[in-house]
Amino acid sequence: MSTAHTPPTPPDRSDGLPPTWAKTACILCECNCGLEVLVEGRTLTKIRGDKDAPNSRGYTCEKPLRLDKYQNGPHRITSPMRRREDGSFEEISWTTALDEIAQQLQQVVHVYGGESVFFYGGGGQGNHLGGAYGRALFHAVGAKYMSNALAQEKTGEGWVDQQMYGSHTAGDFENAEVSVFVGKNPWQSHGVQRARPVLKDIARDPNRSMIVIDPRISETAAIADFHLQVRPGTDAWCVAALAATLVQEDLVDHEWLRQHTVGSDTVLAELGAINVTDFADRCGVPEATLRGAARRLGAAESVATYEDLGIQQAPNSTLVSYLQKMLWILTGSFATPGGVHIHSWMFPIAGRWHAVPPERRPRFNGARRALGLALMPQTASLLGRTVIAARRHRRAGVLIEWASQQAMSMFFRSVGPPIGQRIADTLSNASDDPKQATPVTGSRILSGLTPCNVIADEILTDHPQRLRALWIDASNPAHSLADSGKFVRAMRATELSVVIDVAMTETAHAAHYVLPASSQFEKHEASLFTLHFPHNTFQIRRPLMSPLPGTKSEPEIYAEVIDRLHVVDPTLLRSLTDAADIGMATFALTLFSSLERDTSLSGLLPYLLYRSLGTALGPDDQALALIWGLAALAVIAQPDAVSRAGFAGTGLAQANALFEALRDRHEGVVFTEDRYADAWKYIQHDDRKLHIRIPELLIELQALTTLPSTYTSEEFPFILSAGERRSFTANVIIRNPEWRRRDKHGALRISPGDARTLHLADGDHVRIVTETGSATTPIEISDMMQNGHISLPNGFGVSYPDKDGDTSVGVALNTLTTTTRRDHFSGSPWHKTVPARIEKLA
Ligand SMILES: Nc1nc2c(c(=O)[nH]1)N[C@H]1C(S)=C(S)[C@@H](COP(=O)(O)OP(=O)(O)OC[C@H]3O[C@@H](n4cnc5c(=O)[nH]c(N)nc54)[C@H](O)[C@@H]3O)O[C@H]1N2
Ligand SMILES: Nc1nc2c(c(=O)[nH]1)N[C@H]1C(S)=C(S)[C@@H](COP(=O)(O)OP(=O)(O)OC[C@H]3O[C@@H](n4cnc5c(=O)[nH]c(N)nc54)[C@H](O)[C@@H]3O)O[C@H]1N2
Ligand code: SF4
Ligand SMILES: [Mo]
């Protein structure tokens, strides 16, 4: 692979500013711990935890301390690039790139329809603002299909959540009497805020317990009270046996189930019929250990559970998601300290947006809503004209703002929920249709996302409805999705593929066009991982320095592409911009009424905000326009919880107060404050009950009795877990191998017993072979591993330009995996259960 791109000049100190400490956040995992960074020119010289950050309170792990390896280095790209026929790249100007891309997008849409353009990615662990703006392009071209990394891990769990209560949950591990981690190693992977002190507290406290289900003695399992060391891939039997023991030994909270759930009789009957002895045998956990753990659960005041990749990327994953939730449901651990809760959202990244009705609704709410919605279209036309005229008369502007304030206070809370619902559903690609499926393979679309494992199949076919163009932002699917080779072939088979990234990634190498993004420390960013309860937090990060010359931020890139598609009437943009100059109430009224007059504009909202309110906010703050929109949606969705977090007023006033706090408090903001019992209000079923009978999954539960529970063969006698989170892995956000202080080569872990059998010594190199490919790697003999189970870390095997050309350290895991081994329900890959063999190298 050759690239013509000239590496950027080494980090300069040209900004000329004195070194300053600034607040930002870690971008390496979903916890997004608050950071303080000493910025010298363009360099992040010192990094420490931010004690003021409301989510992490000063905590960090070891990973962000050398974040400069992300920010600076020869991996950064600084010019748009176009692929030549021979596969090499040439640098082109932004104007040429955007002109050609827009023109080719229009061409694809004209010939094959907007639904043939597929959007992938839109954010990593800390950058979701770009993807949010990208939704406007999705709608501008009339696209229908999209996906991201969630659709190779979390969509199965999301579907279960949706059936049972309609939203996402969080466990209160700081207070739980019993914490259960199912295929989750929070010591290394976090996911729980301040994971290590929280885990240590649990381990130290004789009155609290930890149950870990993991085939390895992970760092978390090592300090657990109960380690259920399953054979890889057999969690369905293990978790079913736990739930069955709760039922069969009558450790269930029957009264709670009667009051708060629907369908418990069937569930109890199914679990009652399970042969625990047989299931314990199938998963390899001693029956006494299983029963001991179940009794501990049954005796607890509170139970919180957390599932992750160990089961989400393994067989029967959707069923296991369902069963592990039974552990807190059967014990009645919901909406109570130490239990599991549905939380608020800034904007949902999984599941459907939902407005929680306020405790005190405005009087005549229904009538106001009807009247407001009826008046809106006329208001839009009227305001549009008046606002443009008022530009020349300041006094008229004051009057319009006053009138708009009256209208907003009269109608905002009544018309907000239906308008918010439409906007949110459009932006999150949510659909009421349970049968929503992809055009070629007919795969189930969950949470609006196409299963990652079928994307290539939706392209590599002569099906008339195949995907023709790929738009990829802030993701490296040619490295992170199963069977990388196949994904690259799929990219090459499209008529247009565009990649936006900070680096020349494996995916960028296969694209037609590559657009260089400003880094996450050179622009406004935010993470939408607002997954906390009872105090939910959100942080807007300000740029720490100017963009690297040659790069642009995603909001700007999307706006410039959409400009070229001419899908928005310029007079609308002008009236919105003028309205924003007059005042926030005038702007909000003009915006909402315009969206009500022409509902097809909903999907373009991020663009409309950027080009109107953003213009009024000025070039330094333009990207914050969408944050105002998010603040308004958050206030409509959970007004009381936002009030309790200290944002007074109602409606627009409250939204503005939240927006200003998000803009000004750089350490982040608690945007909702709930009481434990409030978790009930977030249930989306009208009866506010948990609907726990899921017929499709109960059939799968019955099938466990006969389903095979081994995945090895003579040819492939090992189970490889392809993607262990270790001390120095962070997906592939940091490409520079120098970042790692430990485990520099990403060794394959193997048990002492297996190493003996294969006559291997620590550090020996082996070839690992799977049905898809092979790779060589050093080994580490590790007591963590059980016989027959081997494990490779994620985040390795990416190219990095250095003085000797491109280097790559460690195994690119997805040269070893296949798209076909996947959950038949959610389509998530079995990365944790890859049959493999090991060949000793001479
Ligand atoms: N250090 C670090 N932290 C990260 C990341 C990172 O790259 N590096 N990535 C972030 C992301 S995107 C995610 S999704 C999370 C993932 O976080 P985790 O899911 O916690 O991470 P993993 O190490 O992939 O898997 C967890 C455990 O699953 C176990 N496992 C393997 N096979 C099985 C099985 O069959 N059954 C069970 N029960 N367990 C099994 C493994 O032994 C491992 O200990 O981590 C986040 N945090
Ligand atoms: N075999 C195997 N495969 C796996 C996993 C596994 O355990 N095993 N884990 C899976 C999981 S859980 C996940 S979450 C995925 C993660 O895989 P991906 O979704 O591909 O995400 P990242 O590896 O985090 O890649 C993020 C990309 O964003 C780029 N980037 C960084 N900052 C910016 C920015 O400001 N703007 C833009 N436009 N780009 C930026 C980075 O350079 C990088 O290329 O991998 C999955 N793949
Ligand atoms: S990697 Fe995760 S836990 Fe570690 S500092 Fe960053 S956000 Fe916090
Ligand atoms: Mo992930």
pLDDT tens string 361-378: 889 999 999 999 999 888
Is residue 347 scored above 80 in pLDDT?
Answer: yes
Q: 155 CB less than 6 Å from ligand 2?
A: no
- pTM of the entire structure? 0.97
Over pLDDT 70: what percentage of the chain?
Answer: 98
149 near 120, Cβ under 8 Å? no
Q: Of the bound ligands, which one is closest to the alpha carbon of residue 123?
A: 2
Q: 507 CB less than 6 Å from ligand 2?
A: no
d(CA 544, CA 35): 12
Mean pLDDT confidence for 232-257: 98
Q: Based on C-alpha coordinates, what's the Rg of the chain?
A: 27
Contacts 24+ apart (CB under 8 A), 266-272: 266/693, 266/698, 267/326, 267/692, 267/693, 267/698, 270/698, 270/701, 270/702, 271/240, 271/243, 271/244, 271/246, 271/247, 271/326, 272/244, 272/247, 272/248
pLDDT at 43: 96
Q: Which of 117, 176, 109 is nearest to 145 (CA)?
A: 117
Is residue 140 scored above 70 in pLDDT?
Answer: yes
586 near 400, Cβ under 8 Å? yes
d(CA 194, CA 528): 18
* Residue to mutate, 152, 185, 189, ligand 1, most ligand atoms under 8 Å from C-beta: 189
- The string over 40-49, giving b where at least 16 C-beta atoms fall within 10 Å of a residue's C-beta and e elsewhere, is bbbbbeebeb
Which amino acid type is present at position 208? R
Other CB atoms closer than 10 Å to residue 489's CB: what's the count?
A: 14
Residue nearest to atom 8 of ligand 3 (CA): 33
Q: 520 CB less than 6 Å from ligand 2?
A: yes
Q: 556 CB less than 6 Å from ligand 2?
A: no
pLDDT at 11: 46
The H-or-E segment that residue 4 falls in is none
472-486, 614-628, 794-808: the lowest-pLDDT one: 794-808
**Which atom of ligand 3 lies at the shortest distance from residue 62's CA?**
4
Phi, psi of 262 (to 5 degrees): -120, 130
pLDDT at 392: 75
d(CA 649, CA 446): 37
pLDDT band at residue 15, thresholds of 50, 70 and 90?
Answer: low
Measured in whole angstroms, the distance separating CA 64 from the mean position of its chain's CA atoms is 19
DSSP reduced 3-state for 90: strand
Q: Could you read off the pLDDT of 317-332 as tens digits, one per residue?
A: 999 999 999 999 999 9
CA distances from 222 to 199, 206, 217, 784 (A): 11, 16, 6, 9
CA distances from 412 to 397, 578, 579, 593 (A): 21, 21, 17, 11
Cis peptide before 534 (omega within 30 of 0): yes
β-pairing verdict for 117-121 and 145-147: parallel
Q: 64 CB less than 6 Å from ligand 3?
A: yes
In the reported structure, the alpha carbon of residue 412 is separated from the centroid of ligand 4 by a whole-number distance in angstroms of 37
Task: Locate the DSSP E strands across 184-314.
Answer: 209-213, 226-228, 261-262, 303-307
β-pairing verdict for 748-750 and 774-781: parallel
Residue nearest to atom 46 of ligand 1 (CA): 189
pLDDT at 5: 52
CA distances from 317 to 106, 159, 268, 674, 816 (A): 40, 12, 21, 31, 20
